[in-house]
Amino acid sequence: MRLEYFQMIDRIVSLDGDTIQVESRVPEASPVFEGHFPGHPLVPGVLLVETMAQASGWLILGRNGFAQMPFLMSVKEAKFRNFVGPDAPLDVTSKVTHDGSGFTVCEARVMSGGKRIADAEILLRSMPFPHPDLEAAMRANAVRIGLPGHAA
Amino acid sequence: MAAETTATFDKVADIIAENSEVARDSITPDSHVTEDLGIDSLDFLDIVFAIDKAFGIKVPVEKWTQEVNAGEKPAEHYFVMKNLAARIDELVAAKQV
């Protein structure tokens, strides 16, 4: 995980049909923790949402073979159930609950050490890649995190 | 309007009112979803999601949009309320075949 670069996913553990499991480790140090919060470093809730959205996005890219790029459109029922801080291992799952025309709805969850950290309903809209650089970067990231079919 | 279309119209109008800031009593059979009701793209996605769930169908918004953009169908064919209700009835009927 590199919080400052919004690089939230370290590795895809599995991608099976409509479900993805990914893992990440919160960095020991980050400028984010200098402000959130002094003396009590916590991963901000918005970054946990981003982590769930990215896991869901990789699920969609794995399912559509990079035909389109998923973009976050809405977050509902987001709940932050436990604090999570530096060096914590995160297990993130996302499951497609509705496959619409041009959009996908997922139920996503973050766990750490067996404890529920956060969950939300994530809606992503898929559209053609708006720039080839974005598609190239996503394909490179797919190799980095081990998206099935994109091994290094 | 046929009775079944009225029932579908009412259900879709309820969904729109629940998923946007549009007042239920302002939605008529001749309302254009975007031009008259002012539904934006995010609200429209929520509405389509709710319609998919309520009717057990997959509204083919991408296909409809492509047809409108290609000039094959007027936007009114899909996005005026009475016609949207008719298209939903067709999708429900096709599912039951």
Structural domain of A89: 3-145
Instruction: Give per-residue pLDDT as tens, A43-86.
Output: 999 999 999 999 999 999 999 999 999 999 999 999 999 999 99
ipTM of the complex: 0.84
* A55-66 exposure pattern, b = at least 16 Cβ within 10 A, e = fewer: bbbbbbbbbeeb
Q: What pLDDT digit, counting tens, does each position of B30-79 carry?
A: 999 999 999 998 899 999 999 999 999 999 999 999 999 999 999 999 99
**How far, in Å, CA of A108 to CA of A95, rounded?**
6
The answer to the question of residue A151 being in a domain is no
Contact A101 B58 (CB under 8 A): yes
Q: CATH no. for residue B9?
A: 1.10.1200.10
Instruction: Count the Cβ atoms, other than its own, within 10 Å of residue B37.
Output: 23
Q: How many CB atoms lie within 10 A of CB A28?
A: 10
CATH code, A71: 3.10.129.10
How many domains in chain B?
A: 1
Substitution target in B20, B49, B78 with the highest count of A β-carbons within 10 Å is B49
Put simply, the answer to whether A100 touches B63 (Cβ < 8 Å) is: no
Q: Active-site residues of A: which are they?
A: 36
Q: Is A101 within a domain?
A: yes
- Put simply, whether A103 touches B (Cβ < 8 Å) is yes
In whole angstroms, give the CA distance from residue B59 to residue B11.
15
Q: Based on the structure, what is the number of domains in chain A?
A: 1
Strand segments (E) across B6-56: none
Q: What own/partner pairs with CB < 8 Å and gap ≥ 24 does A32-38 have?
A: A32/A3, A32/A4, A33/A85, A33/A86
Show the domain range for B10: 3-96
A53 occurs within a structural domain: yes
